[in-house]
Amino acid sequence: MQSPKIQDFIRTIVDFPHEGILFRDVTTLFADPRGFRMTIDQLLHPYSGIQIDKVIGLEARGFILGGAIAHQLSAGFVPIRKKGKLPAAVISEEYQLEYGEATLEVHDDAIHPGERILLVDDLLATGGTAEAGIKLVERLGGQIIGCAFVVDLPDLGGRRKLETMGMKVHALCAYEGL
């Protein structure tokens, strides 16, 4: 009997949120105890033995992954949120979406100069959200050690974008197409 792969736990939903899109739903992965543990273990693997001070989780599924990873690393966790969701002073970064633009924010005291940061999210598509998160971390003086994702959609170019920025990208699985 073969060991399960991450993809075995991910549900694909056709035509969501728009016709022609194959949505990779990781909620089924998170709901399965074995799948969730496997995901966290595999996301952590490349960073074992490397000092990481804080884990950044991108809203919203990055919070689920980032919190679990921060716990395993005995590191702090910092959420990067959509505009208007954080209560204290923030810095902001606008970025492009396929259908418009959005803004991410982080508390201006969440990261200290020189801290080593792991950025985590569930899915890497165009890379716009991750790029905005990286820029926020760098503006606060943090050093991105790596960017970890469950799913990479290589046809959308996010990995290339982040690697061009000098980022090391780790993804557990990839799906061709949209």
Residues with a catalytic annotation lie at 61, 98
CA distances to 2, 52, 104, 174, 176 from 123, in Å:
25, 21, 16, 10, 13
Residues counted in the chain:
178
Rounded distance between C-alpha atoms, residue 25 and residue 22, angstroms: 9
Find where tokens 């690393």 sit.
Answer: 73
* Sheet with 116-124: strands ordered across: 90-97, 100-107, 76-82, 54-58, 116-124, 143-152, 169-174
145 CB-near residues (< 8 Å, 6+ apart): 47, 50, 52, 116, 117, 118, 168
**In the beta sheet, which residues pair with residue 116?**
143
Read off the tokens for 71: 């716990």
